Amino acid sequence: MLGTIIKREMLEYLKSSKFLIGLSITVILITISTIINIQDFKLRQQDYLDAQKELGGDTFRVSIFRSPQVLSTLVQGKDRKLGNSLTMTYLNIPSRTAGYMGEYTSKHHRYMAGFAAVDFAFVVRVVLSLMVIFLAYNAISEEKFHGTLKLVLANRMPRDQLLLGKFAGGLIIVVGSLIISAILSLLIMLFNPAISLGNSEWIRILMLLGVSALYLICFYTLSLFVSVVVSRPAIALLVLLQIWILLIVIYPNLGVIMAENIYRLPSEQEIAQSKAAAFQPYQEEFKKIREAFIVAVERGEWVPEDVDLRNMELSSKKAELNHQVDKEFSNQLTQQMKLAQTISILSPAVVYDQVANRYARTGMNEYERFMNGIFRHWQKGLEMKELRYKDIQAWRKAELPEFSYQSETTANSFVATLLQWVILFLFSLIFFALAYVGFLRKDVR
Amino acid sequence: MAKQEPILKAEDLSKRYEDGVLAVDHLNLDVHPGEVYCLLGANGAGKTTTVNLFLNFIPPTTGTCFIKEIDVTKDPLEAKKYVSFVSENVMLYGNFTARQNLDFFAKLGGKLELSKEDYHQVMRRVSLQERAFEQRVKNFSKGMRQKLGISIAIIKDAPAILLDEPTAGLDPKAAAEFLEILNELKDEGKAILMSTHDIFRAKEIADRVGIMKEGRLVMERTREELQYEDLVKIYIDYMRAEPLTV
Amino acid sequence: MKTIIKRELLDHLQSIQFVVLLGVSMILFFANGMISVKTYKQQSSFFNQNVSKIRENPSTVATTLYREPNQLMFISEGGDKYRPVGYALKPKGGFSALPSGPRNFKLPVIPELDWSFIIKVIFSLYAILLGYNAISGEKEQGTLRQILSNSVGRIRLLIAKYIALLLTILVPLVTGIIISLIVVGISIPQILALSNLSRIFVMLLLTLGYLSIFAFLSLLISSIIHRSSLVLLMLLAVWILFAVIIPNISDILSEKFSSVPSEFQTAKKVGPMIQQQVWQRIDRIRERVKSGEIKTEEEVKRETDRAFDEGQDELIKHYKLYDDAMKQRAAMAQNLSRLSPTALFQYASESIAQTGAKQEERFIRDTRNYANIYDDYILEKVGKLVATSMWSFSTDIIINGKSVYISSPHPEEYQGDKSDFPQFVESRASLADSLGNALFDIAVLILWNIILAVLAFSAFFRSDVR
């Protein structure tokens, strides 16, 4: 019996023109965006490889190029917007990556400021969620309008089974379209030699698919609920659309705007002041050492070793203290971002975005890890420099290890996003429960 | 006619809506196998409410509906096994063909193993045009849809059939054809309860006629009794009468 | 006609959509006002601080030209917050962009909550939500036959419906705009100057023209399709295409159709190029010294300075090529997005508010003009014009048996009185210029209106009234 309902429901969807139109738009967008995003990834990957070969560094300056994330082909996140290179010396620990030509963001991004990224996550978040609404807005109301609801319920068919059947039928279609889009994306990726996916990437893709499905189910259950409560299909669509635009366009943006206005960030002056204050205890000594250093240089003499060492120690101390202030500031930026996320936690789109970025390693979390790696690398460089004064033999043999940093493990990514899964799941559950209760009490006349 | 147990039975049935309107007022009626019972009445007399009560679409305020002696309120699903329903002006699933609609409802009615030929046979029986079998219902006329509606009832093959204004909006020829089929079903021993305001059709087909007014069954006549009385006259008299004081 | 408009208006004004739109509009326009005031004040103080710093310490080595905050940015911000706050200018026209204004880079990139956003997204959507059942709804209820059974022409009926729809939208729009203007005007009264008000008026006309497209679209599809829910579905599909898909997809499409080397690849060429350009020239000087063509130390210095200067030109050209290619891609993305009326409206509103890419171009033009004035000033004060090198070199050349230390030249700071230092003022387009910039966009918007109006009327004329 349930099977009959499910089958009919699926057929109904498959036959509808809205499904066909939605699916074709999805397929076209997915194809175009994946191809272009792969092309973009290849370009950045090539840059990274070239940079690995050429940037290197010398005893003074170390340049590092951030490697692009392979899953940015599916979820761009911030991967290409943030700059990708930085140069550090013992005098300076950069607080942000730079675009190659000196600005903090890549130039590309500056010119293209008005446009949003189009990728798999965008298609799911915007296009598929809308398709789900279009599919399900009249799931119940249409049947009532056409009188078939009475006919169906005149049979030995419990209401809850009917709703379950409709839910399951629609679910298969919704998840099916998602899987079609994903397979298409993955096929394009697999046929591209530049893309190689490891085991952990596959697991991440599966997790991404899972959360995408859950996200769409949220909208599906919501639509079902509205369709139960609102009896005129056009009105149901009207209501759903207003909810959609609120959840996807207005509310997330308001969250950001509110966070920007509520959470105060220190000004550049304040940062400079705290930097100066932090270095204050050493300032006097540093001045003296600098003078001695400069005197020696100007006389054309060798700088005395103790002056040289102390100069380096103090300079690097300054760099480290500055870094601490920068880090504090960076934490405040993170706090502001978190506040924006908390404010808009009721928007499935925001929650979904967070999870997708985390899984694709294109979010802020990955970037922070990279920057932490940079600091550790800087410390190692400093140790090496100090070694020169302690044990010159060892220093001659020593070599600065290659830069590396620890990405978040897949398991940790999953654990970190559990809350988001629960939120999305709760949304679905609540909407489904409401639809369920509403339908059981619904007047079918 | 051998007196058998009634298949459809209403006992002291009342329905008062939330807005206070008493749609059905202590109604008692029964329909036996092989009998067509017509509920006559003006709009708002409570005919459709009665049908809805039988299908448990709404709970009764007092009283009970029985289908094959099963209390509809207590075990609606079991009761619905034994009843088919033809509603007024049903649109069906527009994107599906006639056969697909039939197939779907047959399966809901518990008939899982029917062949394409079985469906065609039923549709032929209700004289739906052959070429419409595989056409989308969207483009069907009212008469065609109603034929498909009755074939859904036929294919379920339940002992009771409830019809809610089935001939509303049909042209005379289509209505006549429709009643022809009902007659056949009656001969097969189905208990048929039909609500209508079409007094002429009721007279033609009914074994018993009940006239409803303001929720009450104000008069009941058998076919035999009607041979001596003019139903039309009775009906109009009752409709004219001031609120009854029985 | 009046009767119909009145009934339509009453109908719309009682609908949920209208009430929601009124509420949303009031909230958004209020927020728009509050945020704009705050941003404007922040930007102004930033701008004034920096400008007065330059005024106090003018320099002949390098100066910075800041963009003046735009008073009308609350109408259409045009992505300015992601654009440089100004340009660093060095002698001989060397200039480079400063970073964009202070903004938490960890936050997601969101569109600015300006008038054009509220109108292009929210109001266009509600134009559809209010207008979708203009015809189909009446058909469903059978009231269309009732109306047309009177001596009311179809054209007049449609015109009445169109006017009523626009008037309905105008109510929340004007309410919102007034709220926004009050909020802004209280804090920054100079915004209500006549020149700004006339631009706001033009913006209002532009908005009507834009929303009228969606009104006609609603009437058109409502006449063609009978079922209201299907009409709504179709309209929404079109809206999504216009407001979301075309504007977003045009960026990656332009990427497909244009090839710009990556920033890294561009920068990578610098090393070899500078070798080629500068060192070859220096080698030639060495040869000329050997051959005795160049005899004195001064001559060597002059020649090497020239070599450094000329060598850099090639590199600057190289970067400019990249910049131009990038700009071309951006322009292409813009042009592709012009398929959508939403994008047309956006660009036209930027022109009116003097923001966006056009205004940045204008700023850069101003910078170039100022660069000449700046150079003249340096020449007058210092006596010579030396470009600051992004790349510095030093070497030795042996002349007459003596080693001469050669290094890339640096500009000199003039130590005397610099009170006559030239002031930089960013120019603003006149209203006529702004309209000229927006001419294409406005023309296409009008074309959309005409086409959709013709289609709507002919569709309604032919539709059967059942």
Establish if B108 touches chain A: CB-CB under 8 angstroms. Answer: yes
Does position A21 have pLDDT exceeding 50, yes or no? yes
Helix, strand or coil, per DSSP, at residue B75? coil
Q: Chains B, C in contact: 3+ Cβ pairs under 8 A?
A: no
What does the DSSP assignment read for A313-369? HHHHHHHHHHHHHHHHHHHHHHHHHHHHHHHTTT-HHHHHHHHHHHHHT-SHHHHHH
Could you tell me the end-to-end alpha-carbon distance of chain A, in angstroms, rounded to an integer? 22
Establish if B59 touches chain A: CB-CB under 8 angstroms. Answer: no
Q: What is the mean pLDDT of chain A?
A: 87
B57, B96, B109: residue with CB nearest A155? B109
CB C386 within 8 A of CB C418: no
CB A68 within 8 A of CB A41: yes
Whether residue C274 is contained in a domain is answered as no
pLDDT at C214: 96
Helix, strand or coil, per DSSP, at residue A122? helix
| Numbers of helices and strands, H then E, in chain B | 9, 10
Instruction: Tell me which chain C residues have a C-beta less than 8 angstroms from the C-beta of A247.
Output: none
pLDDT at A113: 54
CB C68 within 8 A of CB C422: no
Closest-CA residue of chain C to A123: C245
ipTM of the complex: 0.84
Whether residue C292 is contained in a domain is answered as no
At residue C30, what is the residue type? F
Does position A114 have pLDDT exceeding 70, yes or no? no
Give chain A's domain count: 1
Instruction: Tell me which chain A residues have a C-beta less than 8 angstroms from the C-beta of C256.
Output: 32, 35-36, 39
A46, A109, A134: residue with CB nearest C233? A134
Does position B3 have pLDDT exceeding 90, yes or no? no
Establish if A10 touches chain B: CB-CB under 8 angstroms. Answer: no
**In which domain, by residue range, is A170 found?**
2-280+305-440
B90, B94, B108: residue with CB nearest A155? B108
pLDDT at A105: 47
pLDDT band at B242 (very low <50, low <70, confident <90, very high): low
Whether residue C48 is contained in a domain is answered as yes
**How many CB pairs lie under 8 A apart between chains A and B?**
79
CA dist C63 and A407 (Å) reads 43
Question: Can you read off the two tokens belonging to residue A282?
Answer: 């050493």
Q: Which residue has tokens 């078939």? A: A148
Q: What is the mean pLDDT of chain C?
A: 86
CB count within 10 Å of CB C407 equals 14
SS (H, E, C) chain C: CHHHHHHHHHHHHCCHHHHHHHHHHHHHHHHHHHHHHHHHHHHHHHHHHHHHHHHHCCCCCCEEEECCCCHHHHCCCCCHHHCECEEEEEHHHEEEECCECCCCCCCCCCCCCCHHHHHHHHHHHHHHHHHCCCCHHHHHHCHHHHHHCCCCCHHHHHHHHHHHHHHHHHHHHHHHHHHHHHHHHHHCHHHHCHHHHHHHHHHHHHHHHHHHHHHHHHHHHHHHCCCHHHHHHHHHHHHHHHHHHHHHHHHHHHHHHCCCCCHHHHHHCHHHHHHHHHHHHHHHHHHHHHCCCCCCHHHHHHHHHHHHHHHHHHHHHHHHHHHHHHHHHHHHHHHHHCCCHHHHHHHHHHHHHCCHHHHHHHHHHHHHHHHHHHHHHHHHHHCCCCCCCCCCCEEEEEECCEEEEEECCCCCCCCCCCCCCCCCCCCCCCHHHHHHHHHHHHHHHHHHHHHHHHHHHHHHHHCCCC
Q: Chains A, B in contact: 3+ Cβ pairs under 8 A?
A: yes
Distance of CA C136 to the CA centre of its chain: 39
pLDDT at A423: 96
**In which domain, by residue range, is C166 found?**
2-257+334-368+432-462
Residue, of A354 and A445, whose pLDDT is higher: A354
Instruction: Tell me which chain C residues have a C-beta less than 8 angstroms from the C-beta of A81.
Output: 109
Whether residue A136 is contained in a domain is answered as yes
pLDDT tens digits for range A390-408: 888 888 888 878 888 888 9
Ranges A137-141, B68-72, C271-275, C314-318, most confident: B68-72
Interface probe with A: pick from C252, C327, C342, most Cβ of A within 10 Å: C252
C17, C121, C252: residue with CB nearest A238? C17
* C-beta atoms of B55 and A147 within 8 A: no
Closest-CA residue of chain C to A253: C110
pLDDT band at C290 (very low <50, low <70, confident <90, very high): confident
Q: What is the DSSP pairing of strand C394-399 with strand C402-407?
A: antiparallel
Residue, of C144 and C456, whose pLDDT is higher: C456
Question: Can you read off the two tokens belonging to residue B79?
Answer: 């009761």
Task: Give the minimum alpha-carbon distance from C430 to chain A in angstroms, rounded to a whole number.
Answer: 25
CB B145 within 8 A of CB B168: no
Instruction: Tell me which chain A residues have a C-beta less than 8 angstroms from the C-beta of B80.
Output: 154-157
pLDDT at A360: 93
Whether residue C307 is contained in a domain is answered as no
Question: Can you read off the two tokens belonging to residue A262?
Answer: 């509520």
B77, B90, B107: residue with CB nearest A151? B90
Q: Determine the average pLDDT of the residues in B141-166.
A: 88
Establish if A11 touches chain B: CB-CB under 8 angstroms. Answer: yes
pLDDT tens digits for range B169-179: 788 888 888 88
* C-beta atoms of A107 and C326 within 8 A: yes
CA dist A164 and A159 (Å) reads 9
Does position B245 have pLDDT exceeding 60, yes or no? no
Percent of chain B with pLDDT over 70: 96
CB C139 within 8 A of CB C226: yes
Whether residue C419 is contained in a domain is answered as no
CB B200 within 8 A of CB B123: no
Question: Can you read off the two tokens belonging to residue B85?
Answer: 């329903």
Whether residue C98 is contained in a domain is answered as yes
pLDDT tens digits for range C109-120: 888 889 999 999
Residue, of B243 and C460, whose pLDDT is higher: C460
Whether residue C8 is contained in a domain is answered as yes
pLDDT at B244: 45
Helix, strand or coil, per DSSP, at residue B210? strand
Percent of chain C with pLDDT over 90: 33
pLDDT at A103: 47
* C-beta atoms of A150 and B91 within 8 A: no
Q: Which residue has tokens 């929720």? A: B215
Whether residue C407 is contained in a domain is answered as no
SS (H, E, C) B40-63: EECCCCCHHHHHHHHCCCCCCCEE
Whether residue A265 is contained in a domain is answered as yes
pLDDT band at B246 (very low <50, low <70, confident <90, very high): very low
pLDDT tens digits for range C367-402: 989 999 999 998 888 888 877 766 677 788 887 777
A16, A147, A443: residue with CB nearest B89? A147
Whether residue A294 is contained in a domain is answered as no
Helix, strand or coil, per DSSP, at residue B167? coil
Whether residue A291 is contained in a domain is answered as no
Closest-CA residue of chain A to C232: A234
pLDDT tens digits for range C405-434: 887 778 888 888 888 888 888 888 889 999
CA dist A276 and A376 (Å) reads 23
Q: Determine the average pLDDT of the residues in C130-157.
A: 78
Whether residue A158 is contained in a domain is answered as yes
Task: Give the minimum alpha-carbon distance from C334 to chain A in angstroms, rounded to a whole number.
Answer: 9
Give chain C's domain count: 1
Q: Determine the average pLDDT of the residues in A266-289.
A: 90
pLDDT at A78: 85
pLDDT at A57: 63
pLDDT tens digits for range A52-94: 887 666 677 888 888 899 999 999 888 887 878 888 888 888 8
pLDDT tens digits for range A35-47: 988 988 988 888 8
CA dist A343 and A350 (Å) reads 10
Q: Determine the average pLDDT of the residues in B187-194.
A: 92
